[in-house]
Amino acid sequence: MAGWIVWFILVGVMVILEMFTGTFYLLMIGIGLAAGGVAALAGLTDSAQMVVAALVGIVSTAALRRSRWGKASRGHAARDPNVNLDIGQTLQVDAWSGTEGGRRTSRATYRGALWDVELEHGARPEAGIFVIREVRGSCLIVANHEK
């Protein structure tokens, strides 16, 4: 079997494995392996093919790491609407009670249950409709709903 065929079989294996992991890192290694296959087609020696594959794989992996797709998102799950579907929903607050440690608090009905509600810093403590910005345990952090 020709050397370039082995390289491209390995590329196919890396692409399949990448589909199972969901990251792009195995795809970058696959790009390096493809470069090794191209080097084999160009007639380079086995050791030169391996060097080309390793260099291209390392450079493409490093480039991915520096890109926005290579960085793990460090978002706060309590504020992420993809994690908690309550974020962005609205609720009615009839009145705000006194301050608890410098924070305005209330109780409001949301999804058929009574919840503790806390006003987000900088929001106006007036009765009306509020948007859920964060969920901390059984406490909803809300801000004024802008119409």
Q: Which CATH architecture has domain 77-144?
A: Beta Barrel (2.40)
CA distances from residue 10 to 39, 42, 51, 132 in whole angstroms, order as listed: 14, 18, 16, 49
Tell me, what's the pLDDT at 126? Answer: 87
Instruction: Report residues of the chain scoring pLDDT below 50.
Output: none
Decide if 53 contacts 36 (C-beta within 8 A): yes
CB-CB neighbours of 79 under 10 Å: 14
Q: What type of residue is 28?
A: M
Q: What type of residue is 142?
A: V
Tell me, what's the pLDDT at 74? Answer: 65
CB-CB neighbours of 65 under 10 Å: 13
Stretch(es) of the chain classified as CATH 2.40.50.140: 77-144
Tell me, what's the pLDDT at 57? Answer: 95
Question: In angstroms, rounded to a whole number, what is the distance separating the alpha carbons of residues 56 and 78?
Answer: 40
Decide if 105 contacts 116 (C-beta within 8 A): yes
